[in-house]
Amino acid sequence: MPTGVHLHDARQQLFDAAERVLLRGGPSALTSRAVTAEAEVSKGVLHRHFADFDDFLAELVRERLGRLEDQRTTLRGSAGTGTLASNLTSALIEIFDPVAVAIVSLILFRDELRARLRHSGRPHGIPLLTEATAMIAAYLTDECELGRVAADTDAGTLALSLVGTGHLLFADQEHAPSAEFVESAVRTVIADVVQRRLL
Protein backbone atom coordinates (compact mmCIF):
# COMPACT_ATOMS: atom_id res chain seq x y z
CA MET A 1 0.00 0.00 0.00
CA PRO A 2 1.52 3.36 -0.90
CA THR A 3 2.44 5.67 1.95
CA GLY A 4 3.25 9.34 1.92
CA VAL A 5 1.40 9.81 -1.38
CA HIS A 6 0.11 13.33 -1.88
CA LEU A 7 -3.66 13.20 -2.35
CA HIS A 8 -5.44 16.14 -3.88
CA ASP A 9 -8.59 15.40 -1.86
CA ALA A 10 -8.06 12.38 0.37
CA ARG A 11 -11.49 12.60 1.98
CA GLN A 12 -13.29 12.55 -1.36
CA GLN A 13 -11.05 9.78 -2.66
CA LEU A 14 -11.96 7.68 0.39
CA PHE A 15 -15.66 8.48 0.04
CA ASP A 16 -15.62 7.48 -3.62
CA ALA A 17 -13.81 4.24 -2.76
CA ALA A 18 -16.33 3.47 0.00
CA GLU A 19 -19.21 3.96 -2.42
CA ARG A 20 -17.64 1.54 -4.91
CA VAL A 21 -17.08 -1.09 -2.21
CA LEU A 22 -20.62 -0.61 -0.91
CA LEU A 23 -22.15 -0.99 -4.38
CA ARG A 24 -20.05 -4.04 -5.16
CA GLY A 25 -20.28 -5.93 -1.87
CA GLY A 26 -22.97 -4.39 0.30
CA PRO A 27 -22.69 -3.16 3.90
CA SER A 28 -20.86 -6.23 5.19
CA ALA A 29 -18.02 -5.64 2.70
CA LEU A 30 -17.43 -2.09 3.88
CA THR A 31 -14.40 -2.20 6.17
CA SER A 32 -11.56 0.27 6.66
CA ARG A 33 -9.20 -2.17 4.98
CA ALA A 34 -11.53 -2.56 1.98
CA VAL A 35 -11.90 1.20 1.62
CA THR A 36 -8.20 2.00 1.80
CA ALA A 37 -7.36 -0.87 -0.55
CA GLU A 38 -9.95 0.39 -3.04
CA ALA A 39 -8.58 3.94 -2.72
CA GLU A 40 -5.02 2.58 -3.01
CA VAL A 41 -3.84 4.42 0.10
CA SER A 42 -2.47 3.29 3.45
CA LYS A 43 -4.83 2.84 6.39
CA GLY A 44 -3.06 5.77 8.03
CA VAL A 45 -4.60 8.14 5.47
CA LEU A 46 -8.09 7.30 6.69
CA HIS A 47 -7.10 7.74 10.35
CA ARG A 48 -5.44 11.09 9.64
CA HIS A 49 -8.78 12.47 8.47
CA PHE A 50 -11.27 10.63 10.70
CA ALA A 51 -11.31 9.65 14.38
CA ASP A 52 -12.26 6.06 13.55
CA PHE A 53 -14.09 4.09 10.90
CA ASP A 54 -17.56 4.88 12.23
CA ASP A 55 -16.64 8.58 12.15
CA PHE A 56 -15.68 8.08 8.50
CA LEU A 57 -19.00 6.37 7.77
CA ALA A 58 -20.95 9.13 9.54
CA GLU A 59 -19.19 11.71 7.36
CA LEU A 60 -19.97 9.62 4.28
CA VAL A 61 -23.66 9.79 5.19
CA ARG A 62 -23.47 13.54 5.89
CA GLU A 63 -21.79 14.12 2.55
CA ARG A 64 -24.69 12.33 0.85
CA LEU A 65 -27.18 14.38 2.88
CA GLY A 66 -25.51 17.52 1.55
CA ARG A 67 -26.38 16.45 -1.97
CA LEU A 68 -30.05 16.40 -1.00
CA GLU A 69 -29.88 20.15 -0.43
CA ASP A 70 -29.15 20.70 -4.11
CA GLN A 71 -31.98 18.33 -5.02
CA ARG A 72 -34.32 20.20 -2.67
CA THR A 73 -33.56 23.48 -4.44
CA THR A 74 -34.16 21.92 -7.85
CA LEU A 75 -37.41 20.23 -6.83
CA ARG A 76 -38.88 23.28 -5.14
CA GLY A 77 -37.86 25.36 -8.14
CA SER A 78 -40.00 23.10 -10.32
CA ALA A 79 -43.20 23.91 -8.40
CA GLY A 80 -45.82 25.27 -10.76
CA THR A 81 -44.06 23.90 -13.84
CA GLY A 82 -44.38 20.60 -15.66
CA THR A 83 -46.62 18.03 -14.01
CA LEU A 84 -46.64 16.89 -10.40
CA ALA A 85 -46.09 13.30 -11.47
CA SER A 86 -43.08 14.08 -13.66
CA ASN A 87 -41.50 16.36 -11.05
CA LEU A 88 -41.93 13.80 -8.29
CA THR A 89 -40.75 10.96 -10.52
CA SER A 90 -37.55 12.82 -11.35
CA ALA A 91 -37.01 13.57 -7.67
CA LEU A 92 -37.47 9.93 -6.60
CA ILE A 93 -35.13 8.67 -9.30
CA GLU A 94 -32.47 11.13 -8.10
CA ILE A 95 -33.05 10.41 -4.41
CA PHE A 96 -32.86 6.65 -4.84
CA ASP A 97 -29.76 6.36 -6.97
CA PRO A 98 -27.84 3.12 -6.29
CA VAL A 99 -25.40 4.75 -3.83
CA ALA A 100 -28.18 6.31 -1.74
CA VAL A 101 -30.05 3.00 -1.57
CA ALA A 102 -26.83 1.26 -0.51
CA ILE A 103 -26.18 3.92 2.15
CA VAL A 104 -29.66 3.42 3.61
CA SER A 105 -28.86 -0.31 3.85
CA LEU A 106 -25.56 0.56 5.54
CA ILE A 107 -27.31 2.75 8.12
CA LEU A 108 -29.73 -0.07 8.93
CA PHE A 109 -26.86 -2.57 9.07
CA ARG A 110 -24.57 -0.70 11.50
CA ASP A 111 -25.93 0.08 14.97
CA GLU A 112 -22.95 2.28 15.91
CA LEU A 113 -23.40 4.39 12.80
CA ARG A 114 -27.08 4.95 13.58
CA ALA A 115 -26.19 5.91 17.15
CA ARG A 116 -23.59 8.45 16.00
CA LEU A 117 -25.96 10.03 13.53
CA ARG A 118 -28.75 10.12 16.13
CA HIS A 119 -26.52 11.98 18.62
CA SER A 120 -25.32 14.55 16.08
CA GLY A 121 -28.45 16.69 16.29
CA ARG A 122 -30.17 15.38 13.18
CA PRO A 123 -33.93 14.68 13.13
CA HIS A 124 -35.34 11.33 14.22
CA GLY A 125 -35.81 8.63 11.61
CA ILE A 126 -33.60 6.97 9.05
CA PRO A 127 -31.08 9.42 7.55
CA LEU A 128 -31.62 10.15 3.85
CA LEU A 129 -35.18 8.84 4.01
CA THR A 130 -36.15 11.43 6.64
CA GLU A 131 -34.54 14.27 4.71
CA ALA A 132 -36.03 13.06 1.42
CA THR A 133 -39.48 13.02 3.02
CA ALA A 134 -39.04 16.59 4.29
CA MET A 135 -37.87 17.69 0.84
CA ILE A 136 -40.90 16.21 -0.92
CA ALA A 137 -43.27 17.53 1.75
CA ALA A 138 -41.90 21.06 1.19
CA TYR A 139 -42.42 20.69 -2.57
CA LEU A 140 -45.99 19.42 -2.09
CA THR A 141 -46.71 22.35 0.23
CA ASP A 142 -45.50 24.70 -2.50
CA GLU A 143 -47.76 23.01 -5.04
CA CYS A 144 -50.67 23.20 -2.61
CA GLU A 145 -50.17 26.95 -2.28
CA LEU A 146 -50.14 27.19 -6.07
CA GLY A 147 -53.45 25.31 -6.25
CA ARG A 148 -52.09 22.28 -8.08
CA VAL A 149 -53.07 19.85 -5.31
CA ALA A 150 -56.08 19.86 -2.98
CA ALA A 151 -55.98 22.61 -0.34
CA ASP A 152 -56.35 20.13 2.53
CA THR A 153 -53.47 17.90 1.39
CA ASP A 154 -51.44 16.45 4.25
CA ALA A 155 -48.07 17.04 2.60
CA GLY A 156 -46.10 15.19 5.27
CA THR A 157 -48.11 11.99 5.07
CA LEU A 158 -48.22 12.07 1.27
CA ALA A 159 -44.45 12.56 1.18
CA LEU A 160 -44.02 9.52 3.47
CA SER A 161 -46.11 7.48 1.02
CA LEU A 162 -44.03 8.64 -1.93
CA VAL A 163 -40.67 8.02 -0.24
CA GLY A 164 -41.79 4.62 1.02
CA THR A 165 -42.96 3.72 -2.47
CA GLY A 166 -39.69 4.95 -3.96
CA HIS A 167 -37.58 2.99 -1.51
CA LEU A 168 -39.47 -0.22 -2.23
CA LEU A 169 -39.23 0.31 -5.98
CA PHE A 170 -35.48 0.90 -5.92
CA ALA A 171 -34.51 -1.55 -3.15
CA ASP A 172 -33.53 -4.24 -5.66
CA GLN A 173 -30.49 -2.57 -7.16
CA GLU A 174 -30.07 -5.24 -9.82
CA HIS A 175 -33.52 -4.60 -11.27
CA ALA A 176 -34.15 -0.87 -11.08
CA PRO A 177 -37.62 0.16 -12.28
CA SER A 178 -38.08 2.16 -15.45
CA ALA A 179 -38.99 5.83 -15.23
CA GLU A 180 -42.39 4.95 -16.71
CA PHE A 181 -43.06 2.42 -13.95
CA VAL A 182 -42.03 4.90 -11.26
CA GLU A 183 -44.25 7.59 -12.75
CA SER A 184 -47.19 5.18 -12.86
CA ALA A 185 -46.73 4.47 -9.15
CA VAL A 186 -46.41 8.19 -8.38
CA ARG A 187 -49.62 8.94 -10.30
CA THR A 188 -51.46 6.35 -8.21
CA VAL A 189 -50.16 7.78 -4.92
CA ILE A 190 -51.06 11.39 -5.77
CA ALA A 191 -54.29 10.68 -7.68
CA ASP A 192 -56.61 11.66 -4.84
CA VAL A 193 -55.07 15.05 -4.08
CA VAL A 194 -54.93 15.94 -7.76
CA GLN A 195 -58.54 14.86 -8.43
CA ARG A 196 -59.94 16.63 -5.36
CA ARG A 197 -58.29 19.86 -6.54
CA LEU A 198 -60.65 19.76 -9.51
CA LEU A 199 -63.81 19.35 -7.43
Question: pLDDT class for 199, splitting at 50, 70, 90?
Answer: low
Residues 179-183: what's their mean pLDDT? 97
CATH 1.10.10 segments of the chain: 1-49
- The 3-class SS string of the chain reads CCCCCCCCCHHHHHHHHHHHHHHHHCHHHCCHHHHHHHHCCCHHHHHHHCCCHHHHHHHHHHHHHHHHHHHHHHHHHCCCCCCHHHHHHHHHHHHCCHHHHHHHHHHHHCHHHHHHHHCCCCCCCCCCHHHHHHHHHHHHHHHHHCCCCCCCCCHHHHHHHHHHHHHHHHCCHHHCCCHHHHHHHHHHHHHHHHHHHCC
Which CATH class for the 1-49 domain?
mainly alpha
Residues 163-186: what's their mean pLDDT? 93
128-157: pLDDT as tens digits: 999 999 999 999 999 999 999 999 999 999
Residues 178-193: what's their mean pLDDT? 96
**Residue 121: its pLDDT value, please?**
66
Residues 71-82: what's their mean pLDDT? 95
**Residue 177: its pLDDT value, please?**
94
Question: pLDDT class for 172, splitting at 50, 70, 90?
Answer: confident
* CATH 1.10.30, applies to 64-197: no
**Residue 4: its pLDDT value, please?**
45
CATH 1.10.357 segments of the chain: 64-197
